[in-house]
Amino acid sequence: MRYSPTLVDHFLNPRNAGMMRDPDSVGETEDTECGDLARFFLRVRDGRAVEVRFQTYGCGPTIAAASVASELSRGRLVDELCRLEAREIEHALDGLPDDRKHAADVAAGALRAAAARYRARGG
């Protein structure tokens, strides 16, 4: 198996892609080896991510990982997002090939960065 049907679906039909006007927080991260980049925008109410959007530059698995991560994170407490692990994203994609595992790392890192920035600003 190269890519799961779930990964292909999120790549071809990314959910929550695009910018957000006046977000409560923004975070990004980059894989320095391949150059893939993800940026997440959060809207937070009562400590929960009520809207999550993303922009990404990278391979198909990175786009898919950001898409699935945006769905996984909606409704979660910001504190939970600060601890989000790449393996949860990888699991939601029904796996990633070894040479594409960085995709989940990039998405998780960007979400954690957005959540941590929100907390650091007193949220």
The span from the CA of 28 to the CA of 55, in Å, is: 9
The span from the CA of 116 to the CA of 93, in Å, is: 24
The separation between the first and the last C-alpha atoms of the chain, rounded to the nearest angstrom, is 42
pLDDT above 60 (res 1): no
pLDDT in tens, 39-78: 999 999 999 999 999 999 999 999 999 999 999 999 999 9
The span from the CA of 72 to the CA of 88, in Å, is: 9
pTM as predicted: 0.94
Q: Structural domain boundaries of the chain? A: 5-120
pLDDT of residue 2: 87
pLDDT of residue 41: 98
Mean pLDDT score of the chain:
96
Query: What's the CATH class of domain 5-120?
Result: alpha beta
